[in-house]
Structure 1
Amino acid sequence: MTISSETTGRRTKRRGNQHLTPAGVKVLETASRLFYDLGIRAVGVEAIAEQAGVTKKTLYDCFGSKEDLIVAYLRARDGLWRSTLVKHVNGQEGPAGERILATFSALHDWMNERNRRGCAFINASVELPDDHPGREVARDQKTWFLAYLEDLAKEGNAQAPAELAAQVLILHEGASIAGSMESVDRAVQRAEQVAAILVERSLTA
């Protein structure tokens, strides 16, 4: 069974960044790198425009405000993580339990390539005020991931798919934080080992 990254049913809607001009794409790419590497509040529109090679007017013409650019950054990262994860899991042939565990190898690759400073959505939630629309994007991302894990658990006829999904999500979050802070060696692999025990118990109970 192939599970799509698109939102359906109880899953929240994900809005993409559409119809960007080449200048807009450059601004978004630059802002995404700076926001993630340096922090959202530490980076001003002047620095983004300068490094993107555009004027501040062009930046505002494309995105309206820094706040809207933050939202665009988080939506773009959300879309990239979803497509990366789903492609990785769908490429895993085998029983559902192995597909659930494949989310950890996807996380391992993601952290090595794009996530060295930890989860961008958690980082953003710490920086942004409660009423910022970027926090909604971050919450939606976690809601989607939990639903995706639950679908994988249901595919394997888990005894309590919602509970298994919640447990696996917590392991993902902990591994991402511990791995990025280097507080635990081989954090993702160790989280996967714990998940394997939970999956085996749930799918064979």
Structure 2
Amino acid sequence: MVETDTREKIVAAANRLFYREGIRAVSVDAVAAEAGITKKSLYYHFKSKDDLVAAYLDYRDQPSLGAFKKCFDTSKGPLADRIAGLFENLALVAADPKWKGCGFLRTSVELANLPGHPAIVAGITHKKRLEAWLQSIFADAGLENANALARQIRLLIDGCFAVVMLHRDPGYMREAGEAARCLVDAALAKRPG
């Protein structure tokens, strides 16, 4: 369908621009130009910039979760090493000069005074999916405190994203990975049987 293709082209253009420059720095005109369409056509597909920003985050949701899963899956060793490996892989990605951090967190900072904004809702949904995925890993390992551990690891992930954005030093991700390793080792030591 032409309409679907146009919508996808708009969201892909918004993804490139919003991630690279931030949502407030990018106008609807810039997104339309990047997509090679008119502003009127953009507004045919999105009733507002707010809806476009939410679509941008929805567009990033599954690829981002897939990247986390790939980082975990390519890590070797026991569970604690694989969780630490996830952070090591994040550090490698963050070393790229084009890396701009977590698009969900960056958007939430730009919209901090608008808690009901559709993009904030999209960000919350994404972060809950990440947490649920972590919880499933820990539950599959037989850890009784899988929910709490998933929250702790998510806090480390989001925290290291913020700190690396500030300092531009991926070493913080490796340190967060070591903290995650300690948390997982401690949880494994408490596992019954």
User: Judging changes above 3 Å, is the alpha-carbon distance between structure 1 residues 106 and 189 closer, same or farther for their aligned structure 2 residues?
Assistant: same
Residue 124 of structure 2 aligns with which residue? 139
- C-alpha separation in 1, matches of 2:169 and 2:32: 38
Q: Deviations over 1:120-150 (max 9, x none)?
A: 1112112221121111110111111111111
Superposed displacement of residue 111, structure 1:
3.1
- C-alpha separation in 2, matches of 1:19 and 1:92: 41
| Count of aligned residue pairs for this structure pair | 188
Residue 197 of structure 1 aligns with which residue? 182
Q: Give the stretch that moved more between structures: 90-99 or 123-132.
A: 90-99
- C-alpha separation in 1, matches of 2:16 and 2:121: 21
Residue 71 of structure 1 aligns with which residue? 54
Superposed displacement of residue 38, structure 1:
1.8
TM-score (norm 1): 0.80
Alpha carbon RMSD of aligned pairs, Å?
Answer: 2.5
- Higher fraction of helix: 2
Amino acid at match of 2:18: F
Ranges in structure 1 where 5+ consecutive residues have no aligned partner: 1-17
Superposed displacement of residue 86, structure 1:
1.9
The question of 1:153 aligning with 2:145 is answered: no
Q: Percent identity?
A: 32
Secondary structure of the structure 2 residue equivalent to 1:21: helix
TM-score (norm 2): 0.84
Residue pair 1:100, 1:153 contacting (<8 A) in 2 also: no
- C-alpha separation in 2, matches of 1:29 and 1:109: 24
The question of 1:37 aligning with 2:20 is answered: yes
Ranges in structure 2 where 5+ consecutive residues have no aligned partner: none
Residue 91 of structure 2 aligns with which residue? 108
